[in-house]
Amino acid sequence: MGATLSAMLHWWNLLFLVPIALAGLLLLMSAVTGVGDGDVEADASSGDTEADADADHDTDHGPSLSDALRSFGVGVVPVSLLAQAFLLFFGVWGLTANRLFAVGSQPEGRVWLALLVAVGGGAVTTALFGAVMRRFFPAEEPATGGKDLVARSGRVVFEVTDGGGTVQVRDAGGTLHQLAARVLPGAETIPTGRMVLIVAQNKESGHFLVEESPFSE
């Protein structure tokens, strides 16, 4: 047993034992302090929907890189948990490769093979781990874009003219948005407190075109 322990403490094994120990330590710290619980936060939709104006031009070009990463838990599973998983799997794959390639017989020449296996195996296994774990974490809700507010009703906060104004609108999820607004060309000013209908969004300036709702008081 002493000989086995001594063999495990050779530097080519420590390369992989240390990450395993670190993963265990991080897991213990997370369990005790709760660190990592807030690593992933859904983006809160704000009233500033102007930043989404350019996105309205986009068409569906199929899955993006971010979608692919999310399918493996990136952006959904806490980063701290994925890091712990990678350290653990890196270590396990590395120790396994040390045995398979008999690294101890020629460590300087063969340890690189073990490192390659550890990195590749660790990455693939962590990706699979993330794909499974993402099912247990709430999905991030997409931010509300300008096009999602078109055709919704709102209320005038500051009277709306052809030069500007402010309205408040709730999206489908109930979040209140305060928007820069203008009346349609040639339309009359809409006083404060009136109900309006969002007609369109100006793609260049980001402001919304509104008309007075027929149900306005």
CATH superfamily of 146-212: Nucleic acid-binding proteins (2.40.50.140)
What confidence category does residue 56 fall into, taking pLDDT thresholds of 50, 70 and 90?
very low
CA angle 124, 129, 135 (to 5 degrees): 135
Is pLDDT above 80 for 54?
Answer: no
**What does the pLDDT look like over 147-184, one tens digit per residue?**
888 889 999 999 999 989 999 999 887 888 889 999 99
**What does the pLDDT look like over 123-142, one tens digit per residue?**
999 999 988 888 876 554 45
Is pLDDT above 80 for 87?
Answer: yes
Cα 198 from Cα 152, distance rounded (Å): 6
The predicted model gives 77-94 an average pLDDT of: 90
| pLDDT at residue 109, as a whole number | 84
Whose CA is closest to 170, among 184, 154, 193, 181? 154
Q: Which amino acid is at 94?
A: G
Question: pTM for the complete prediction?
Answer: 0.51
| pLDDT at residue 4, as a whole number | 60
Is pLDDT above 60 for 214?
Answer: yes
| pLDDT at residue 52, as a whole number | 45
Q: Parse the chain into domains and list their residue ranges.
A: 2-40+64-136, 146-212
Q: Which two tokens stand for residue 157?
A: 């906060």
Strand bridging mode 166-170 / 176-183:
antiparallel
